[in-house]
Structure 1
Amino acid sequence: MKLTKVLTTLAVWLVLVTEGVSASGNNGLTAQSFSFSRKDSTVTINTINSDYVLHVKKRTGPIKLDGVLDEEDWKRAQKATNFYMVLPYDTGYAAAKSEVMMTYGDKAFYLAFVFYDTIPGKRPVESLRRDFVFGNNDNFLLFLDTYNDQTTGYSFGANAAGAKWDGTMSDGHSVNLIWDCKWQSKTKNYKDRWVTEMRIPFKSIRYQSGVDHWNVQFSRLDLKRNEKSAWAPVPQQFPTASLAYAGVVQWETPPPKSGLQFSLIPYIFGSASRDFEAGTDTRYRKDFGMDAKLGLSSSLNLDLTYNPDFSQAEVDDQVTNLDRFELYYPEKRQFFLENSDLFANYGSGQIRPFFSRRIGLDSPVLAGARLSGKLGNDWRLGVMDMETEKQGDLLARNFFVASVQKKVFSRSNIGAIFVNKQNMNVPSGFTGNEYNRVAGLEYNLASSNNYWTGEFFGFRSFTPGMSSGEQFAQGTQLNYSRKQYDLGIKEYYVGKNYNAETGYVPRVDYLRLNPTATVRFYPDKSNVEYHGFFTELDTYFRPGDMELTDREVSFDYFFQFHNRSHLELETNFWYIKLRNAFDPTNQGNHFLEAGTGYNWFDATLIYQSDNRKTFKYELSSGYGGFFNGNRLHVEGMLNYRFQPFGYVSMVFSYNNLKLPQPWGDTGYWLVGPKLDVTFTDKLFFTTYVQYNEQIDNINVNARLQWRYQPVSDIYLVYTDNYFPGNMQAKNRALVFKMTYWFN
């Protein structure tokens, strides 16, 4: 373990160095000190684009949301213009003209933006669905840093057809689109431009009272020109959502102080289901539940839920499983996703001390509470407590997680997390664990110019009967990003007795070292926007004797074209020494023996078409070794949009494994056609069919959603599963759910 100690020491030294690096960005920008006034103090922050200030006057008359900017308040408002190009280049102004204006009253603030075209023709949009895919639509996005911490905030936006976008921000650039709030907008299309007006109530967001400055960024994606631009300049290696490069909105007077806010969201539920495999009759069920939101202050929320139902959550995308370890499926239930960065972002992708999908998927959730938000300017707090009901052999359980973060330096933070899973009313003779706990510390590095990012964490699990010596996990990750290159190093260790039952840790007892490098070249006067290569060495060692158990050496070369298409060749050299018996087909019939080692090479060619076209596609195909045999795989996605009313798509994959006896040749098809229709910006219908040959199943999921009032919905969800051979039904369910937001 000497290597781990050396790397950890080096990481600490690099933190001190990178936090002290002066922030020089593109366009000759340098980090500057900027002060804003507050009733109780003056706070100094570093923001690279502090010279970009939009002065916002209080409105003097009514604002009608109609896409016609004829009010006097718009005529006298200062305009944010001269947007800087971010992609395909970041060395000058955008070719397409953009204008953004703001004003505000006692209850809400307003935005108006005008985006002019330079190329005639239809503006590309995917659909009218809320929270559209950024790269598939002509759109405008607003990024608000209401605490001036360059880490957290809110995002609002619209595409050229008027579909809305809203979400919360974390990690200085990530947007969680599950979050919804009440706000209004109106989009109007003209021959040479499109115009949108927005009204966002102050009570819909959280902010520091008495502050007259917020960090802000305005971003535009013009797909016809293949041009992404931002009001305050952003280096092209970063998203326009990077709060490190935000400008400043200067209110004429501070926004109103936020009072106590309370929302009640009850629901009613009805379903009919039948399990044909078990031979049971149709089961009818009706129920109710509710969520409540209490704004304890302008920056702290209490969320409560009783008897929650998650039947409207999107179905998981199925995959062909050829892996040795548990697959990861993302959380899609709204209650767990709001402010999820406070709980779910600790550790790395393979070492999560808390993973909310462990709660409620094997037994119903009875009730829960979550307290989250800001404490002062530098502290964030998150506490969540959930209780599940007894289900069969599973006892009633309580899940508790607490997290606290303290901002340090310019944009970094130190965090602590505690997770507790407790079985309730444990009977005598119970053979399971009465409890499982994890505690840990983490440092998240983000330099003022965002060039240096990283994290350094350590966790300890507590499980009855487990040896205390190897219940640890720790990790170090450091990245340096510039326009021409990205460099990274990861080091992770997981002890063989580390046990995070409410987390996601698919494998234990290893030391992992993973350096990576990406290099990009930008040719002049070429159809290629940039090209370059990515290479990495990913190795796993057994900690006791440092025996190599896994090694992947990768070298990929890629081309990004000006027409938005992408071509990539991936090559991989593998070595795996099995620590446990493994069936490479994952059928569970025949196994490779533990202790055997395998070397192989494979290559994959990937092409993505121009996504601005009405018909777009992605295709990939590869061939090479696979343990003691060979593997051929073909994957793809086909998508045709009938804008602005939706699209029809299909994903597919085929894996052919050529292995020696007793396995022989094995082929797996996975096909998933999908129809997504948005009749209006409030009425949506989705049908998703998935045929998975590996698990011998056809799944049909159809969902109708009507947003009949702001943030109030009616859902009708139909689910069916069949045996593919004879189309005999396995199980079937029809669900009705209605929610209403009292605010």
Structure 2
Amino acid sequence: MKLNLPILLVCFSITISNYEQESTEVVPKRIYTTKKLKKVPVIYGDVSDDAWDAVEWSSDFTQKDPTEGVAPTHQTKFKVMYDDKFLYVAIVAFDDSPDLIQRRLTRRDGFAGDRVNVIIDSYHDKRTAFVFTTTAAGVKGEEIATQNGDNWDDSWNPIWYTNAKLLDNGWSTEMKIPFSQLRFGKAKEQIWGFNVNRTIFRFQERSLWQRIPNDQSGFISEAGELHGLIDLVPQKQLEIQPFTVIQYDNYPSEAGNPYRDGSDFKINGGLDAKIGITNDLTLDLTINPDFGQVEADPGAIALDGFQIFFREQRPFFVENKNIFDFEFANGRDNLFYSRRIGRNPHRDANLTAGEFADVPQNSTILGAAKFSGKTQNGWSIGVLESVTANEYAEIKQTDGTTREEIVEPLTNYFVARAQKDFNDRNTYIGGIFTATNRNLGGDFNELHKAAYTGGIDFRHNWKDRNYFLEGNVIASKVLGSKEAITATQQTLRHNFDRVDATHVNVDVNKTSLTGTGGRIEAGKAGGGNWRYNGGFVWRSPELELNDVGFLRQTDEMIQFSGIRYLWQEPKGIYRDIRANFNQFATYDFDGNFNRIQYELSGNVNWKNNWWTEVELGHKPRIFSNSFLQGGPRWRFSAENYFVLFFGSDRSKKMSFTLGYVGSAAKQNNFSFQRHVFRMNYQPFDALSVSLSTEFEKNPSKTQYVNQVDYDTKTRYILGEIDNQSWSTTLRVNYSINPNMSIQFYGQPFIARGRYSNFNYVNNAVSKDLYSRVSWYNNNQILENNGNYNVDENIDGVTDYTFGKPDFSYVQFRTNLVARWEYIPGSELFFVWARGGAGSGDPNNSLTRSFRNQILDKPLENTFLIKATYRFVR
């Protein structure tokens, strides 16, 4: 491998910046000493209650944004006190113009309007914190901050109490936080990391009690400290939440199909529970979970043959997701992808003429348990166990009798994750182990019987956490029948059957597959204005994670590097600017140099709170091992791309984003255009509307279509595609009060592809497009009843045939949810979901496809009522 110029530039920058005068200031650590209360305050948001007289106010906040280190426009003060079971916080946010305070009502975790955040590092690990937020409208929100403030997870929903009140000179809030919702060890006096953040929404201004300079690489680690918590008794958490669901489905009936008679009705129930094993570690349980109120996945079409990643939305798996994450490479590759649990069955029912089947849409999760938390001595622990049931399709035969056919085997999923902090929390070492075991029962030869993965990760920070070295190493092993392992080798992500590969080949006798992967990265994350990083990623051809993880592609080695310069202090017309240069190159394990890419980008936050992002990229070398799906390595023409996004002040009642992404390849091989418009509008405090619409055009002269045998060769057939897609997402939220809201979600998605000018691969690695492929002439190809007949040698005899690849897909999903948290932690949901999906005529326009497939046809409706009640001890 050749060392290229960008690597040398980054190495040079690293050397130079080692001599750079670091400007990181040493900021004194602030300490607030609390006391035990003498009288319990009533949580109304009014801090004038004389119960607060037991402790002193603290103030002197400092701006974080836009001008770090100066006094804020308006000051803030707070008090903290406690009793045996609760921590109490009172905050006054002063404001000379109380009529301009933004009191926007949103759903829980909406984080809009003026607000304060109380940040509590009760582990005092300087990397993790519990964050409690109250807005000026009294809306509550909670997050768990991890990775020293680089990751904020709002899926956490503890039980706590808060309220807010408008004052003549600002607004105030009170918080009552149960110790059972926090995690801390045993000590005579607790010392916790602590900070308070205040946001003045109309100015987009943030101020902190404990000042943290912008060039600091950490956030949680730089917090102040809360002292004075004497003889706290850890409160073990015990919460039990049963639920009941009543559901009615209405849909177009299918003639003769007894399973699609037009309507279904069912009643379901289950149980969620949280049990505090210790004050540090919690056991979460779910039995027969229901996810009926979860939004549908957005529409998507993948023409490259790879699996599409969808984010997890189910509450049980979303909460504390960060503990189980093991993202080992750049992108979405992860050893644990919870969407595998409860997935759609691997098989469809085998039907004969006149038979109908009732096939489950998802595997039933019989039960799942999570054991997670972080101990006082620096251990982060996560263990997850889940079992999904045997799933059967019920098939009604022509004579009226029924039979069952298994479509998914009983499967056990296990994940164990641990990390240990060292070196004053500047270093950690961790590991993960996952296991998937299926009870195949002599059937399902196409599936892995077992799959195991393991990994070790680490990170070391030094010099005030300004510099870092991190990495991981992983290994996988899958076991199964010869058929299952052969099929794995032939999947697109492994591509062992690629005709020109010399380092891999399909072994039909294998009953297991073992692979490795990993990443190493080092760089500078703080101090001064320069940042840089560089590293290396590899995925061996045999690596396999997709039984309970997510892996898009193997047989790849990636070298990457980047450098960034920050303008962090407001000057003239801007608040801050970032400029970045990034580069990466990829190779396969056969030594092929497949890709090189350069990228220059920057973003500006302007003085008026508008913002701009721009990006320029150049890809002089693009090869793909998978494009021809088992065929030879394919070369794309060199590509240039441009990205421009800009938006208005998000603090205004009306804000918008406009964006454009465009790319073009040499010889007009392919191009890409993406147009984006997003709008948020809050005409009054209780109502907010957001709209996001995207239109994409992705034409290509050489889109893969099929492969056929011809003479003694294989023909790889490509075509010129006119590929377009359009999607719009509308969200409307009406909040009656902080605990009661009505939410609407709607999304139409339309994708259409029309093919013409078919061609076939001539020399797959030629730099010249017209040497790379040869086009069929009108005498060689003829469309006939949905197929194309090819007479390549023009002898009057059809040499081969392939199907017409044109497509049109339409999906429409809406969701109307009324939510009422009638007591803290207990909720009622009323849900109306409506939608449909289907194929249309590719000759139609996008709008006509939507009208024909959605507006002119009956849709499916689901009406659902879900009630939960949380018992808390």
Regarding TM over 0.5, the answer is yes
TM range (shorter): 0.7 to 0.9
Query: What SS does the corresponding residue of 1:434 show, helix, strand or coil?
Result: strand
Equivalent residue letter for 2:530: Y
Is 2:460 aligned against 1:460?
no
Cα deviation, residue 522, structure 1: 5.2
Of the structure 1 ranges 418-427 and 75-84, higher mean CA displacement relative to structure 2 is found in 75-84
Measured against aligned partners, the alpha-carbon deviations of 1:341-397 in whole angstroms (never above 9, x if no partner) come to: 221144244331111111113212110111112344122221110001122421110
Tell me the equivalent position of 1:533: 579
Question: For 2:523 and 2:209, how far apart are their aligned partners in 1?
Answer: 27
**In structure 1, how many angstroms separate the alpha carbons of the residues matched to 2:601 and 2:631?**
30
1:236 maps to what in 2? 214
Letter in 1 for 2:31: V
- Name the counterpart of 1:46: none
Alignment partner, residue 724 of structure 2: 667
Q: Distance in 1 between matches of 2:745 and 2:383?
A: 36
Q: Does 1:442 align with 2:425?
A: no
Matched, 1:572 2:570: no
- The corresponding residue for 1:472 is 516
- State which structure, 1 or 2, has the greater radius of gyration over its C-alpha atoms: 2
The equivalent residue for 1:391 is: 391
Q: CA deviation at 1:541?
A: 1.1
Give, in whole Å, the separation in 2 of the partners of 1:488 and 1:415: 22
Is 1:550 aligned to 2:595, yes or no? yes
Rounded Cα–Cα distance in structure 2 between residues aligned with 1:89 and 1:190: 27
Look up the match of 2:318: 337
Measure the CA separation in 2 of the matches of 1:685 and 1:619: 28
> Is the partner of 1:464 in helix, strand or coil?
strand
Q: Which position in structure 2 is the counterpart of 1:400?
A: 414
- Is contact 2:519-2:536 (8 Å) kept? yes
**Matching residue of 1:722:** 836
Question: 1:117–1:303: structure 2 CA closer, same or farther, 3 Å change rule?
Answer: same
Aligned to 2:733: 676
Q: Indicate the larger mover: 634-643 or 438-447.
A: 438-447
d(CA) in 1 for partners of 2:467, 2:294: 36
CA contact (8 A) 1:346 1:442 kept: no
Q: CA deviation at 1:108?
A: 0.8
Q: Choose from 238, 245, 249 the match for 1:269.
A: 245
Q: Aligned equivalents of 2:632 and 2:836: distance in 1?
A: 35
1:299/1:653 Cα in 2 relative to 1: closer, same or farther (>3 Å)?
Answer: same
What are the within-5 Å matches in structure 2 for residues 284-303 of structure 1?
Answer: 284-303=265-284
Conserved in 2, the CA contact under 8 Å of 1:220 and 1:230? yes
Distance in 2, Cα, partners of 1:366 & 1:521: 53
Matched, 1:178 2:224: no
Amino acid in structure 1 at the alignment position of 2:124 = N
1:596 is paired with a residue whose SS is: strand
Q: 1:212 to 1:632 in 2, by over 3 A?
A: closer
How far off its partner does 1:517 sit? 1.8
Partner of 1:45: none
Provide, for residues 189-234 of structure 1, a one-character-per-residue CA deviation record: whole Å limited to 9, x for no partner. Answer: 1242110011111122221122421111111111223321111111
After superposition, the C-alpha distances for 1:467-487 in whole angstroms (9 at most, x for unaligned) are: 788600111133422352321
Q: Residues of 2 paired with 1:153 and 1:169: CA distance?
A: 5
CA–CA distance in structure 2, aligned partners of residues 406 and 413 of structure 1:
5
Q: Distance in 1 between matches of 2:555 and 2:37?
A: 62
Alignment of 1:314-463 (within 5 A): 314-318=295-299, 325-348=306-329, 349-362=331-344, 363-392=363-392, 393-411=407-425, 412-428=427-443, 430-447=445-462, 449-453=464-468, 455-463=470-478
* Match 1:511 to one of 543, 552, 557: 557
CA contact (8 A) 1:582 1:592 kept: yes
8 Å CA contact 2:653–2:681 kept in 1: the answer is yes
CA distance in structure 2 between the partners assigned to 1:429 and 1:709 by the alignment: 48
Q: Measure, in 1, the Cα distance between the counterparts of 2:444 and 2:322.
A: 39
Structure 1 residues 624 and 66, CA gap change in structure 2 (3 angstroms): same
Matched, 1:698 2:698: no
**CA RMSD across the alignment:** 2.9
Letter in 2 for 1:600: E
Identity of aligned residues (%): 21
Task: Answer whether contact 1:89 1:236 (CA < 8 A) is retained.
Answer: no
Q: For 1:578 and 1:209, how far apart are their aligned partners in 2?
A: 56
Structure 1 pair 342–448 and aligned structure 2 pair: CA distance change class (3 A): farther
* Offset of residue 739 of structure 1: 0.8
Q: Deviations over 1:423-475 (max 9, x none)?
A: 02532573321011101111133447342345310111011266788600111
State the TM-score, normalized to the length of structure 1: 0.88
Between stretches 625-634 and 455-464, larger displacement belongs to: 625-634
TM-score, L = length of structure 2: 0.75
CA pair 448-153 structure 1, distance change in 2 beyond 3 A? farther
Aligned residue for 1:696, secondary structure, equals strand
Question: Which residue does 2:184 correspond to in 1?
Answer: 207
User: Corresponding residue for 1:608?
Assistant: 647
- CA displacement 1:462-520 (0-9 Å, x = unmatched): 11266788600111133422352321223210011101121111111100112122212
Distance 2:565 2:631 in 1: 38
Unaligned runs of 5+ in 1: 30-48, 584-590
Q: Is the 8 A contact 1:650 1:673 kept in 2?
A: yes
Q: Are 1:306 and 2:287 counterparts?
A: yes
d(CA) in 2 for partners of 1:529, 1:265: 47
Distance 1:261 1:512 in 2: 45
Other-structure match for 1:254: 231
Sort the Cα spacing of 1:300 and 1:666 in 2 relative to 1 into closer, same or farther, 3 A: closer
Task: Provide closer, same or farther for how the CA distance between residues 140 and 523 of structure 1 changes in structure 2, counting only shifts above 3 A.
Answer: closer
Distance between the aligned counterparts of 1:604 and 1:277, measured in 2? 47
> Aligned residue for 1:734?
863
Which residue is equivalent to 2:713?
none
Determine if contact 1:487/1:517 at 8 Å carries over to the other structure: yes
Residues 557 and 320 of structure 1: CA distance in aligned 2, closer, same or farther (over 3 Å):
farther
Distance 2:185 2:304 in 1: 47
Aligned residues: 698
Deviations 1:551-596 (A, max 9, x none): 321112332112221112211112421212369xxxxxxx998523
Change (3 A) 1:602 1:261: closer
